[in-house]
Amino acid sequence: MLLTTVMRTALATTLVAAFVTVLPLRAWSHPSDFQTLTIDLLFGGEGLEAIDAAVVESSGPTWEPFPSVELRDRVARDVLAALDLSGSAASIDSEMSERYHQVGFFVVMDKEQLEGNEFIVNTAPLQAIAADTNLEQLKLSVCSEDSETFNDLEIDATREGRDPIRNNRNERSSCQVWEIAVDDPPVTVTVTTPSLPMTGLSLNGALTLALTLTITGLTIVTIDRRRRMFG
């Protein structure tokens, strides 16, 4: 009886392990739109930090066949060029997206390359990338990992975006989203991150302080000389 129980437990464990091993990774990923180039621009308090993207060639109902790693790598580099970031230090993972797994790619930006507090996106070159990849639309999202950081962003666009959808599409919660067909008029999005607090004096402030101290010092010296002369 004990041997039978042990055998059953071992068999169950083996079946579970086999199921987990062969279970497609996409079952744990978030859905991404069909026939769409999805680009999530992830902003932190100091600017653009990462790009999470999906390249879905399938028209449904499943995401297979997955896009090749070579295609995802090419699209990733084209996207960086379209965003004027090709000269910036970046780490590209062409094999796995953080959110969309094996249908996408993930790019981590070097923050030191993005110290400016304004980032401008024109969707025309991104729409061209989608068209060249035989996709039907571009889905662009400006996002942050938390609502507090997102609420600090100033987002201006030539066409109003929409809020995320939290049903079967399960989009990131702290985002503004634009869905643009490849032949639609392009949209320009300007994202301004909050200015960092000053840590020390500006150049004008330093010059003003130096001039004030110099005048004060000369005044003290002049008064002291007059006192000595006229005793």
Q: In the chain, pLDDT over 90 holds for what percent of residues?
A: 52
- Distance CA(190)–CA(151), nearest Å, equals 15
DSSP state letters, 67-113: PPHHHHHHHHHHHHHHTT-TTS-EEEESS-BTTTBTTEEEEEE-GGG
pLDDT tens for 110-167 read 865 555 578 999 999 999 999 999 999 999 999 999 999 999 999 999 999 999 987 6
Predicted confidence band at 98 (pLDDT cuts at 50, 70, 90)? very high
> Which pLDDT value is given to residue 73?
97
Q: Map tokens 């035989």 to a residue.
A: 134
Give the C-alpha distances (Å, rounded to integers) separating 133 from 125, 182, 184.
Answer: 12, 11, 16
Instruction: Tell me what the pLDDT averaged over the chain comes to.
Output: 78
> Which pLDDT value is given to residue 69?
96
pLDDT tens for 144-160 read 999 999 999 999 999 99
pLDDT tens for 11-44 read 343 333 333 333 333 334 467 778 899 999 999 9
Structure tokens at 67: 């896009």
Predicted confidence band at 63 (pLDDT cuts at 50, 70, 90)? low
- Distance CA(23)–CA(17), nearest Å, equals 10
Quote the pTM value: 0.71
CA 33 to chain centre: 18
- Distance CA(48)–CA(65), nearest Å, equals 31
Burial 64-86 (b: 16+ CB within 10 A, else e): eebbeeeebebbbbbbbebbebe
